Structure 1
């Protein structure tokens, strides 16, 4: 009888933890399917088209489990503010830490991460223009050092092309 009670309690705990939807998922569910919005999961095998085939990029690709993208176009100023507020609240409630913001030519790029021990569990990049928004959520196994090294490499390559 005692084993049944313990088993029952464990099942209830498991089911309630599964039922508790993350705030980032609620954000996606709220906005996907709305007017001028596109939402999709990007398959990782297509990443070679974006990143190429160098060793550094290959290591980076192996550390990313999945990527979800949400794009919104033709946002009114009021809706843009509402979406930004929803993003901010979802990130705070899910325990994301703001890594950095870049403001350039009226565009804002925000990078936030959710840590699990030594690695980054989730990485969120939001890019906001005057009337559009791109929101990317990547589930990863990256360490902070690996991400910093990758960002530095990309920035160096971008500067070399100029």
Structure 2
């Protein structure tokens, strides 16, 4: 009897591993064919290559910092809805609860001005292996599901770099004197007789 139970457990183990992201996959496949919906999947090499190209082309320091962080992303799956959010609140809650059952932890949850932002992650030790970003408003919806190789030190570096850039930007605003515009002078017109 023990051998039979052990055999059944070993047989069902791959199916449990396969179904870890089932709620995310089901949600994606349910809504990807809806009207005004765009969906695509970017393989990891394309994300890496694209961020490298964009980094070479930009001169903005903040963009460079974000692109350096984006290089840590592998495969990305994205679903966007424009003009109308067709996702029911029940489906959104099922997606969130299904992700939590699959060991995703809620990292950030913001509700402001009719917009809901959820960022959830799943990882091991100090690495974030999967990232789920959901942005829902009345007229749009965005879902980004990404495999990542982000470490806690990478997140700390990103935050520190962005804070440093913000301090520099504020300092430059204070030191730069405001340009005073001179009132336009009216030229005297000669009177012709």
> What TM-score do the two structures reach when normalised by structure 2?
0.62
* 4+ residue segments displaced more than 4 Å: 8-11, 53-59, 154-159
Q: Which secondary structure state, in structure 1, belongs to the residue aligned with residue 110 of structure 2?
A: strand
Larger radius of gyration: 2
Aligned to 2:72: 63
Select the residue among 91, 113, 123 that pairs with 2:99.
Answer: 91
Quickly say closer, same or farther: Cα 1:99–1:14, change in 2 above 3 A: closer
Query: Alignment length, in residue pairs?
Result: 153
Quickly say closer, same or farther: Cα 1:72–1:102, change in 2 above 3 A: same
The answer to whether structure 1 residue 142 and structure 2 residue 132 are counterparts is no
Q: Is the 8 A contact 1:39 1:69 kept in 2?
A: yes
Unaligned runs of 5+ in 1: 1-7
Tell me the C-alpha RMSD between the 2 structures.
3.4
Larger RCO, structures 1/2 (Cα 8 Å, 6+ apart): 1
Select the residue among 95, 118, 138 that pairs with 2:126.
Answer: 118
Aligned to 2:184: none
Unaligned runs of 5+ in 2: 1-6, 174-193
The answer to whether structure 1 residue 129 and structure 2 residue 137 are counterparts is yes
Q: Which secondary structure state, in structure 1, belongs to the residue aligned with residue 35 of structure 2?
A: coil
Q: CA deviation at 1:136?
A: 0.8
The answer to whether structure 1 residue 20 and structure 2 residue 19 are counterparts is yes
Task: Tell me the distance in 2 between the aligned counterparts of 1:75 and 1:157.
Answer: 35
Task: Tell me the distance in 2 between the aligned counterparts of 1:82 and 1:156.
Answer: 41
Task: Tell me the distance in 2 between the aligned counterparts of 1:102 and 1:158.
Answer: 22
Task: Tell me the distance in 2 between the aligned counterparts of 1:32 and 1:156.
Answer: 39
> What TM-score do the two structures reach when normalised by structure 1?
0.72
Q: CA deviation at 1:33?
A: 1.2
CA deviation string 1:76-109 (max 9, x = no partner): 5xx4413422321222121111111233333222
The answer to whether structure 1 residue 75 and structure 2 residue 85 are counterparts is yes
Quickly say closer, same or farther: Cα 1:67–1:156, change in 2 above 3 A: farther
The structure with more strand, counted as a fraction of residues = 1
Q: Is the 8 A contact 1:96 1:114 kept in 2?
A: yes
